Amino acid sequence: MWKWITSLFETKEPDPMKFLIVGLGNIGPEYDNTRHNIGFEVLDQWVKQHDAEWHTGRLANVAKFKFRGKQIICIKPTTYMNLSGKAVKHWMSAERIAPKNVLVVTDDIAIDLGKLRIRGKGSPGGHNGLKDIQAQLGSDKYDRIRFGAGGDFPKGRQIEFVLGQWDKNEEIEVVLQKDRACKAIESWIVKGLNGAMNEFSG
């Protein structure tokens, strides 16, 4: 577990003041405002709140800024969802970021719309982006904010559902939960996993 991390930091220690925040999604306008892209949308909102800008980087769009004296690196992988782990692994290595300072923001159809769940480990639950992150890092022990997308779809229509846009009845709740998710990211940075879980999960 984390063998590549050990090798990576043999000569350079990870920087405890750096944090990597990952939003999961798919690039391209056809994926805008879809359930599967909520990780992108949360980071777009949070980066804008901090007057930062996105730039094209290796395997991801990248935004950097300071928050509470800490260096924040936000990424939106441009690898498409199924290869998200490649971007996460690259930016952890490039920026010397320890696993405990990595947070992934993702959709979750096993959670009702209107709820956030913050966890420090767990199975991907069928989510291809999380599957690839786990495969690339060799561990399921990375922190994540799971944004409830609901699961109201007929059997066999999961792909169509997650790649579909939020409907009119969901949009108000999505706006409210995006704001909570941004606050949850900040809570995680300042208070750590347990503090953020106590404040925002549920």
Average pLDDT, the chain: 91
Q: Are 136 and 1 in contact (CB under 8 A)?
A: no
pLDDT attached to residue 202? 59
Q: What angle do CA 115, 197, 77 make, to 5 degrees?
A: 70
Local confidence band at 1 (pLDDT 50, 70, 90 cut-offs): very low
Instruction: Give the mean pLDDT of 162-174.
Output: 92
Of 85, 75, 72, the C-alpha closest to 54 is: 75
Give the whole-angstrom CA distance, residue 158 versus residue 74. 28
Instruction: Give the mean pLDDT of 47-61.
Output: 98
pTM above 0.85, yes or no: yes
The dihedral through the CA atoms of 60, 134, 145, 65 has a sign that is: negative
Please say if the pLDDT value at position 181 is more than 80: yes
Give the whole-angstrom CA distance, residue 54 versus residue 76. 9
pLDDT attached to residue 111? 93
Residue 36 annotated among the catalytic residues of the structure: yes
Distance set, CA 26 to CA 10, 77, 193, 201 (Å)? 34, 8, 27, 25
Give the active site residue among 36, 50, 90, 127: 36
Write down the domain spans for the chain.
16-200
CATH topology of domain 16-200: Rossmann fold (3.40.50)
Two tokens, residue 107 = 């959709």
Pairing of the two strands 143-148 and 18-23: unpaired
Higher per-residue confidence, 86 vs 151: 86
pLDDT attached to residue 12? 75
Complete DSSP assignment for 144-172: EEEEE----S-TT-HHHHHTSBPPHHHHH
Local confidence band at 5 (pLDDT 50, 70, 90 cut-offs): low
